[in-house]
Structure 1
């Protein structure tokens, strides 16, 4: 008996690796992409919606709705990681516009319509999810699970020495989500940095003539200097959502976010064994990089 595709909602902040993850999911036969919501992060939430629409178009998807979400964090000033919007500069404008519905309302409607079925892939700050949780306290039961590219535990951050970008851009939202009791899997910098696009992987994209990504890979390969190692943060989270067996090791522990900035640690994620009331979450601690890269290349070039 054929297993039906699993319903997935994606929350994205419009970066290059977000677009790769969307392309991969749009072409994955195991996934039914219900909708995409956008949030501030790499770019504005409105720009992220344009980028998501264009990424889906490049994957051949002209119908999945894309809703604009939270324009700013819950309790701190807006900070954009890549305001120059490199994906838009590379890919151009989409041929259609976003949905009239907001991303938070879209998330709530889908979760309530299919209780216990929808999986959420969170690729940006967790502001939309925290706002949806505030409106619907039963959301942890309504969503089947959440896979989030978030956190740094035994490695340095990528926006401050202590914090990973998605968490640091809205620490309050991330802490609320981690305390709420979702069935959540974190894919942190500890593992995403082990999965990087090198020359061999880029050659597969170039040979596969993948729209946009194939020519971009070919251009990188023509560079005289050594091709840089490009960590595939969000595509790894997407791959783990599609196939949890790609995670070779997991640990389960309560996780909290540092919310004060007395020592510059705001946004750091920590194992919170000192908080007995905080629910445990799954932390992906090891993957097979070669298996993940093969899976991503096969999916993108299919």
Structure 2
């Protein structure tokens, strides 16, 4: 059965992998993409989304531009993690298509009205666009079939501050408003894929070898920590070449921060959960965001023991089958890229 999905992202290396996975799924109707400022500024996010869509032969998918800044805070970006253009060492072709005239918040509203009760929402960046949409149309949450959010850290460290995860840290007010809007009045409880679980989704060079092989790309990509910094791929498959250049930057970033020559695939994992919630075990919780703490601004707080009279407004993903995750990710993207390469022009 076809699932209609609206994707809100701040593309981003792992957002790029998530987008490729969504495009690779034949059972997904990607009704729109919201470009939200985060990893890089919103114009760069938009360009990356348009470029990936053209590379994958899907320029008809509308790309909507979100706000240029968070609701309250000044925008912070993280080019040190994702590269100056958000895609690591990759140099994507300049897209010929242009973004939709409809901005990202209004696109959220329109998609939820057009597909009332069946739309799956997926957010892998800051929640600015969705929060703005809910401000314009408070009934929006109740029209969603499901919402999956990549963000937060509950029983682990943050990755931006000691207590805050990146997507929430960029726009804590937006995150607080979104969580407050769900769990009541018929709105579904979002599934939250937080660092507690997504940092277990560890991509290794071996996975890149497997992906290159699944795509029929030559020569096989074999990233190694001994490689010259910034080494560029010579793969004959264009998508694998760009993807490897992006992932190599991600490996280098994690290696520089003493995490190993690996990469955390936060966003592709959330995309997989959006399409198959049974992939994860979840627990109900009341989730809120600290907005004023001197040391804890942007911290996600989960009431898992009902200390508050308020009921749950989210389900936190706590466990998954990592082998199954990587098998699906590699086989799905690999087959898509292989078939795309041999498709008639």
Give per-residue Cα distances to partners, 1:93-118, cap 9 Å, x unaligned: 22311111111111111111221111
Partner of 1:130: 131
Cα gap change, 1:102 to 1:145, in 2 (>3 Å): same
The yes-or-no answer on 1:71 pairing with 2:104 is no
Partner of 1:295: 328
Give per-residue Cα distances to partners, 1:174-219, cap 9 Å, x unaligned: 0111111242110111111111111221101222236433565499
Out of 182, 189, 193, the residue aligned to residue 195 of structure 2 is 189
- 5+ residue gaps, structure 1, are none
Partner of 2:297: 266
SS in 1 for 2:18: helix
Give, in angstroms, the shift of residue 19 of structure 1.
Answer: 0.8
In structure 2, distance between residues paired with 1:8 and 1:259: 30
Q: Which segment drifts farther, 198-207 or 115-124?
A: 198-207
Q: Is the 8 A contact 2:14 2:266 kept in 1?
A: yes
Give, in angstroms, the shift of residue 27 of structure 1.
Answer: 1.3
In structure 1, distance between residues paired with 2:14 and 2:203: 11
Q: Is the 8 A contact 2:45 2:86 kept in 1?
A: no
Q: Is the 8 A contact 1:39 1:70 kept in 2?
A: yes
Q: How many residues align?
A: 295
Partner of 2:90: 90
Partner of 2:161: 160
TM-score for the superposition, normalised by structure 1? 0.91
Q: Is the 8 A contact 1:53 1:98 kept in 2?
A: yes
Q: Is the 8 A contact 2:11 2:86 kept in 1?
A: no
In structure 2, distance between residues paired with 1:274 and 1:70: 36
Counterparts of 1:201-280 in structure 2, within 5 Å, are 201-207=207-213, 208=215, 209=217, 211-214=238-241, 216-217=243-244, 220=248, 228-247=261-280, 249-262=281-294, 264-272=295-303, 273-277=306-310, 279-280=312-313
CA radius of gyration, larger in: 2
Q: Is the 8 A contact 1:39 1:71 kept in 2?
A: yes
Q: Which segment drifts farther, 251-260 or 201-210?
A: 201-210
Q: Is the 8 A contact 1:54 1:91 kept in 2?
A: no
Partner of 2:205: 199
Give, in angstroms, the shift of residue 242 of structure 1.
Answer: 1.6
Cα gap change, 1:277 to 1:75, in 2 (>3 Å): same
SS in 2 for 1:212: helix
Give, in angstroms, the shift of residue 60 of structure 1.
Answer: 2.5
In structure 2, distance between residues paired with 1:228 and 1:31: 32
SS in 2 for 1:255: strand
- 5+ residue gaps, structure 2, are 218-236, 336-345
In structure 1, distance between residues paired with 2:49 and 2:238: 15
In structure 2, distance between residues paired with 1:237 and 1:48: 18
TM-score for the superposition, normalised by structure 2? 0.80
In structure 2, distance between residues paired with 1:269 and 1:286: 19
Give per-residue Cα distances to partners, 1:75-106, cap 9 Å, x unaligned: 11111122722417513222311111111111
In structure 2, distance between residues paired with 1:278 and 1:124: 26
In structure 2, distance between residues paired with 1:185 and 1:145: 8
